[in-house]
Amino acid sequence: MATISANLSLQKILITVTTIFLLPSSLPSASAIPETNQRPFKKIYAFGDSFTDTGNTKSLTGPNGFAHVSNPPYGTTFFHHPTNRYSDGRLVIDFVAQSLSLPFLPPYRKSKGNNNSTAYGMNFAVAGSTAIKHAFFVRNNLSLDVTPESIQTQMLWFNKYLESQGCKSPGSPGSEDCKEALDDALFWVGEIGVNDYAYTLGSTVSGDTIRKLAVYSFTEFLQSLLKKGAKYVVVQGLPTSGCLTLAMSVAPSDDRDDMGCVKSVNNQSYTHNLVLQSKLSDLRKQFPQAVIVYADYWNAYRAVMTNPEKYGFKESFKACCGTGDPYNFDVFNTCGTPSVAACSNPSEYINWDGVHLTEAMYKVVADMFLNGTLTNPPFKSLLNRKQQKP
């Protein structure tokens, strides 16, 4: 096992990187997307953590991390300046929106609440967010620098958003405003739970406890969405977190799996995903009118790790933006600080800053979800179901 000091370093840097404040970004507006009758969905609602967050961290009143993500080279690949995304460019959710001919989703905490800015949906994801309520971490003296927003907070925001759209009683019959807000919407729930495990590293709280509480809380969240009337829901599982540069840099060298990643961390994510998939199966029986798709992030990441050259990657473990040996990553000198530079070829790297992925990797994963075989049922079957509805 890793030492306590290593675990605490892992905890601190993950919290630091995932709770950084970012500068506003210039995103394509809704008016830049042409109107078309071919869109299967009119809007997308997104939830999750830093892998999905497009800007909600900017306004957080929680932990004060180093403002590294506000600085170049974040955003350099696609936007050509720092945005509120934890990458060099676009995230999975951005590729999802583009594939559906929809604009990039505005972050809830930056939206003005008017119909123009919210016409095509909203992003409620928050960097550093947890599945378990913040009160749990407070009770266990684990609240220092932990993002106070959980997936339940995102549900509260979603409720407020619905009210702003005139939908005060979602799920009740006869509300045209609720019908407008929900009927033609895709609900994309990004991975959530990695931070729950990270925040408790080095503590007496067991991984089994976190898994039980996180999956229970997340299942409640999904039930709430479905009870409101969500009909098309995609749920991402946890990735192979043990393949992130951060995990590799602090775990002992004898803790490795067949991919060369941290075995204990990947096993934890894998087990979590098995329990989650069982819960999704139960939800499908409880809500037969809904299409609930599981997006297998774990095996998508594994597919790349076992054959990186196939997807154009030359570096599997080193961070593109960072410093230090052997993984170009230093816990105390991370991407965005003046002395740290990015590689010249981020498209050949899987890891961007040691905690998050490059746009190139997010694009590969998004393609596996949208056009490949790593969603259950296939995402295309969800689109077919939607298009068959009157």
Active-site residue flag, 272? no
Active-site residue flag, 50? yes
Q: Which of 68, 134, 272, 356 is catalytic?
A: 356
**Contact between residue 48 and residue 191 where contact means Cβ atoms under 8 Å apart:** yes
Please give the helix or strand (H or E) that residue 43 lies within, else none.
strand 43-47
Two structure tokens written together for 116: 């123009």
ω into 73 cis (within 30 of 0):
yes
Helix/strand/coil for 295? strand
Q: Which of 9, 25, 50, 129 is catalytic?
A: 50
d(CA 131, CA 150): 6
**DSSP one-letter string for 301-328:** HHHHHH-GGGGT-SEEEEESEE-STTTS
d(CA 154, CA 176): 24
User: How far is the CA of 315 from the CAs of 76, 231, 323, in angstroms?
Assistant: 19, 40, 15
> Within its chain, how far is the Cα of 141 from the centroid?
26
Q: Specify burial of residue 333 (Cβ count, 10 A radius: 0-12, 13-18, 19+).
A: middle
Active-site residue flag, 367? no
Q: Any idea which residues carry the catalytic annotation?
A: 50, 353, 356
